[in-house]
Amino acid sequence: MSRKDAKIAKLSFASCALAMALSVYAQSALPEGENKKLVEKLCLDCHGPENFVKLRLDKAGWEKVIGEMIEKGATGSDEEFDKVVAYLVKNFGKDKSR
């Protein structure tokens, strides 16, 4: 194996390891609860949880955020997005500490 091939192999391995670590972080960053899996499915395909776990919004605020995500291409049913909003309000509502 040439030095160039070895370097490419190391970079590929490092990239895979980073992707796996980020996946584990993303899943562990969200509190357990009803609809966690749905939030992971609908939200984490496009961005990590750091985009929203730092926010503290009421129901209207989360509905606005979800509406903006739908405008940007997020897909799901109205019922699914209602469940996502409920999860976010419960775990990242205005009354929750950071």
3-state secondary structure of 50: helix
pLDDT by residue, tens only, the chain of 98 residues:
777 666 676 666 555 444 444 444 444 589 999 999 999 999 998 899 998 888 999 999 999 999 999 999 999 999 999 999 999 999 999 987 65
For residue 51, the model assigns a pLDDT of: 86
For residue 60, the model assigns a pLDDT of: 98
Give the dihedral sign, CA 63/64/65/69: positive
3-state secondary structure of 88: helix
pTM: 0.69
Q: What is 28-68 written as a DSSP string?
A: HHSPPSTTHHHHHHHHTTTS-GGGTTT----HHHHHHHHHH
